């Protein structure tokens, strides 16, 4: 992973279900500075749509989205 895409903070939401991953993502993005990256790990199927919609609505950028066998990984750049 390049240093420019290195997360400032990692949020592990494995085992949590809707709406908890979204709530925790919202809190965590507020705790980092503009330009920093939040890594979110989740296994709730609803998290994919919820977190993508949240980022689009709030203007943050999902710079990476990976779907693994049993989980997902998001890298979200705070833009505001």
Per-residue confidence (pLDDT) for residue 1, from 0 to 100: 52
Per-residue confidence (pLDDT) for residue 4, from 0 to 100: 74
Per-residue confidence (pLDDT) for residue 3, from 0 to 100: 64
18 in catalytic set = yes
Which domain does 62 fall in, by range? 3-77
* Total domain count, the chain: 1
Q: How far apart are CA 79 and CA 77, in angstroms?
A: 6
- Is there a contact between 41 and 10 (Cβ–Cβ < 8 Å)? yes
- Is there a contact between 50 and 22 (Cβ–Cβ < 8 Å)? yes
Interior CA angle at 76 toward 72 and 80, to 5°?
155
Per-residue confidence (pLDDT) for residue 64, from 0 to 100: 96
List the chain pLDDT tens, one digit each, 80 residues.
556 789 999 999 999 999 999 999 999 999 999 999 999 999 999 999 999 999 999 999 999 999 999 999 999 999 98
* CATH code of 34's domain: 3.30.110.40
Per-residue confidence (pLDDT) for residue 65, from 0 to 100: 97
Q: Of the listed 8, 16, 18, 64, which one is catalytic?
A: 18
């Amino acid at each position: 992973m390049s240093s420019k895409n290195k997360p400032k903070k990692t949020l592990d939401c494995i085992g949590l279900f809707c709406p908890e991953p979204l709530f925790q993502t919202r809190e965590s993005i507020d705790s980092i500075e503009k330009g920093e990256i939040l890594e979110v790990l989740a296994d709730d199927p609803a998290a994919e749509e919820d977190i993508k919609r949240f980022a689009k609505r709030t203007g943050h950028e999902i710079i990476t989205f990976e779907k693994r066998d049993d989980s997902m990984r998001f890298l979200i750049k705070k833009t505001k």
